[in-house]
Every structure is written in structure tokens, then in C-alpha cells.
Amino acid sequence: MHYLGIDFGTSGARGMLLEQAGIVKAEVRVSFSQAKSQNLASLWQKTLEKLLYQIPSQLRKKTKRIAINGTSATVILCDKQGNPLDEPILYNDNRGIEILADLQTIVPANSVALSATSSLAKLVWWERKGITQPASYFLHQADWLAFLLHGKLGISDYHNALKLGYDVENLTYPNWLENLAIRRILPEIVEPGSPIATIKPEIRHQFAFPADCLVCAGTTDSIAAFIASGAKLPGEAVTSLGSTLVLKLLSQKKIEDVTAGIYSHRLGDLWLTGGASNTGGAVLQHFFSDQQLIELSRQINPAIPTKLDYYPLLTPGERFPWNDP
């Protein structure tokens, strides 16, 4: 019995196939450039297909579970068939600053959804532009990619839904969100990792997956990274450096500070506290080639302070440790 985990990041996607004992059977990777794409959803779909084809067919035939993670607060608006009605909005897109004043009249002051880059801010921005009127579903990147495999629309997990305003403590949409007109297109929320449905027949035949292969609810990319690290005790923390920089710390208490961009995800009986910064690998790749980064990194001695005082950002605005769009 094999398990397939798929990670969609900012600059590419990766897949890892594991046996039940945790032994890695296959690792695959596909790179892409979202910045140059005029059709992100199509790019994601093609990347997913390329990724699945890279897995040897004899291993796909033994795969019984599939789960996908995506970048947190990357969202997509769909019609009844799951077709995108507009270009997806990426996790770090702060167009929500245009409607932030309106959002402050709706959202409680301590909610992580009260941010220019939150899932809710992007949905309200779409609503103000009149784009939600013909929409049937509002989904996150991981939700939509999983839909391509199982065919069930309108399902998300409570990790991705946190920045939508979902109450992860009581596992329900709060009253202030239930009363909004956009409630009709919000997804049903399930536990991350829980089975949703078996893989669609056409996908099963295309990629030779078994008929009983289940597609499960996903999570966000940084939570997947935390889980993959093996950290599991309160006080243990993980820093994930990709295109951006994310810090997660396992806590016995739920901690939130909107002004600092700090929020807490539910993880079992504990809380995963931290935040996501706009600084990270994307800034470095803007100024240096991959080869230069390798060569320069070799010259760094982490035991010696650099005495440099830089805070590198590609555009104005930060999410953590200052929430200042």
C-alpha cells in the first residue's frame, strides 16, 4: 500500500510516494513559473499531470491514498463545473488592501482573516468587482487540484480555511461570516487528511491508479513541511525557506496577534503557531543565479556575524513579523 503526497509551491510542484512503513519509493518534481503564466489554473493542471506521469506506472498501481497541499491563501473562483471564472489570486497578492476598510467593519479585530492577503480579503475583492455573482464555488489551490482528481466540488480543509475566517477552535463558520452574501459559495470544511472520495474513473484509467484509491483533504505547504520535519512536541519549531520564509512552532496554547501577522492552526490537540514573511528565496533568485547562490553560500560562515543589516523585499509590504501591507 502506497501513499502519495503532492506539494504545490510558488516555483514548482513535488511528489513523494511512500510505503506504509515510511520508506520512500519515488520522488518527482516539476518546475514552473507562475509569474510568466497568463492562465495559472491551466498551468497547475498540466503540472499535476506531468507530476503523476513521472511516477512509475507499477508504483501508481499500488497507490491507495493521495493528498495535496498548496500555498496558503492562494484562491480560485469557479462555476458549477469547477471551471475558473477569473485568474487565481496568489497567496502574497495584497489587492485586498483596496477593501480592507470594508473588511474591518465585518471581521473581528483579532481574526487572521483581517489582512490584505487573506483568503477572505481576496473573496471580498472579487465580490466588490461583481465577479462572484456567477460563481458557484470559492476554493483554495489545494482544494481545486484535489477536485481534479476526485471530482467533488466545494470541499476544503480547516488548515486552508483559517484565513477565510473559519473558526478552527469550534470547527464552524462564525456567525459574522454565515450572514454574508458570499456564504453561498464557501466550501464545506473537513479535517485535513480525511478521505473525500475515490479517484475519478477517467483519472484512474489515464494514470493506472487502483479503483479504490482515495483522494484525501489536504493542508497548506508550510504545515506539510512542519509535519514532514518530524517535529511533534510542544516548543519544537520549524523554519521553511522557499520562495518565502515561514516559521511554525508547536504550542499548547492558541496564540494570535494580527498586528504581527501571528496566527495559530489547529493540529490535533495542539496549536501550530507562527507566521509567513514575504522575504525568502524569491528575493535571492531575483538578484542571483542558482549557481551564484551555491557558490556564495559556500563562503558563508554561520558562526561569524555578517554585520550586514538588510531586510530584502521585492515589493513594499510585509505579512510577518509586521503585518503591514
- Of 194, 222, 250, the residue that ends a domain is 222
Domain that residue 309 falls in:
232-324
In this structure, what C-alpha cell is assigned to residue 126?
472579487
Please tell me the distance from the alpha carbon of residue 242 to that of residue 245, in angstroms, as a whole number. 6
In this structure, what C-alpha cell is assigned to residue 208?
493506472
In this structure, what C-alpha cell is assigned to residue 265?
492552526
Please tell me the distance from the alpha carbon of residue 33 to that of residue 13, in angstroms, as a whole number. 11
Residues 163 and 132 in one domain: yes
Residues 192 and 61 in one domain: yes
Q: State residue 282's pLDDT score.
A: 86
In this structure, what C-alpha cell is assigned to residue 261?
501577522
Residues 92 and 52 in one domain: yes
Q: Which residue in 261, 287, 284, 286 sits closest to 274, CA to CA?
A: 261
- 13-22: burial string, b at 16+ Cβ within 10 Å, e else: bebbbbeeee
Going from the C-alpha of 207 to that of each of 24, 133, 144, 154, 303, the distances in angstroms are 20, 36, 19, 24, 49
- 228-256: burial string, b at 16+ Cβ within 10 Å, e else: eeebeeeeeebebebbbbbbbbbbeeeee
Q: Bridge partners of 5? A: 16, 67
Please tell me the distance from the alpha carbon of residue 51 to that of residue 54, in angstroms, as a whole number. 5
Question: Are 324 and 97 spatial neighbours (Cβ–Cβ below 8 Å)?
Answer: no
Residues 205 and 113 in one domain: yes
Count the Cβ atoms, other than its own, within 10 Å of residue 71: 25
Whether residue 262 is contained in a domain is answered as: yes
Residues 283 and 163 in one domain: no
Q: State residue 259's pLDDT score.
A: 87
Residues 148 and 267 in one domain: no
Please tell me the distance from the alpha carbon of residue 279 to that of residue 277, in angstroms, as a whole number. 5
Question: What is the number of structural domains in the chain?
Answer: 2
Residues 319 and 182 in one domain: no
Strand-strand pairing, 2-8 and 214-220: unpaired
DSSP state of 6: E
Residues 192 and 50 in one domain: yes
> Which distant-in-sequence residues (6+ apart) come within 8 Å of 207 by Cβ?
52, 53, 57, 60
Q: State residue 35's pLDDT score.
A: 64
Please tell me the distance from the alpha carbon of residue 216 to that of residue 67, in angstroms, as a whole number. 5
| pLDDT less than 70: residues of the chain | 35-37
Q: State residue 37's pLDDT score.
A: 63
> Looking at residue 46, which CATH number applies to its domain?
3.30.420.40
What element of type H or E holds 26?
A: strand 24-31
Q: Bridge partners of 139? A: 76
Residues 199 and 266 in one domain: no
Whether residue 33 is contained in a domain is answered as: yes
In this structure, what C-alpha cell is assigned to residue 167?
473558526
